[in-house]
């Protein structure tokens, strides 16, 4: 019986990796601002995570932490830009300004 319990416990530990979640981000452009909401694929919010705004020369234009609603708002920059949410443990999410 102990072997069955140990096997079941081991299976739970291994299957936990299949429950992993990945970052998601949705951005929208208003007249002079860009608002992004970040989160995870399991519907959990990305609270106090850094979202970065870069120009096409990879110069950091702005960086902000998500608020209590997992949102940030940037002033829309001149020229081309992209926005990055990289929580560090999964693949980073990039949103290109031309897609907005």
pTM over 0.85: no
CATH 2.60.40.1930, domain 18-99, yes or no: yes
Distance between CA atoms of 90 and 46, rounded to whole angstroms?
A: 13
Backbone angles phi, psi at 47, to 5 degrees: -85, 135
* pLDDT tens digits in sequence order for the chain, 100 residues long: 444 444 444 444 444 444 557 899 999 999 999 999 999 999 999 999 999 999 999 999 999 999 999 999 999 999 999 999 999 876 899 999 999 9
- Kindly list the domain boundaries of the chain, sorted by start residue: 18-99
- The torsion of the CA quartet 84, 82, 63, 26, rounded to 10 degrees, works out to -60
Distance between CA atoms of 17 and 15, rounded to whole angstroms?
A: 5
Q: Say how far residue 43 (Cα) sits from the centre of its chain.
A: 11
């Amino acid at each position: 019986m102990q072997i069955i319990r140990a096997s079941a416990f081991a299976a739970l530990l291994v299957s936990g990796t299949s429950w992993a979640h990945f970052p998601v981000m949705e951005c929208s452009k208003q007249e002079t601002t860009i608002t992004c909401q970040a989160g995870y694929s399991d519907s959990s919010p990305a609270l106090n995570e850094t979202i970065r705004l870069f120009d096409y020369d990879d110069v950091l234009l702005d960086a902000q932490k998500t608020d209590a609603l997992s949102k940030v708002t940037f002033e829309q920059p001149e020229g081309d830009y992209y926005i990055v949410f990289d929580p560090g443990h999964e693949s980073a999410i990039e949103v290109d300004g031309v897609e907005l």
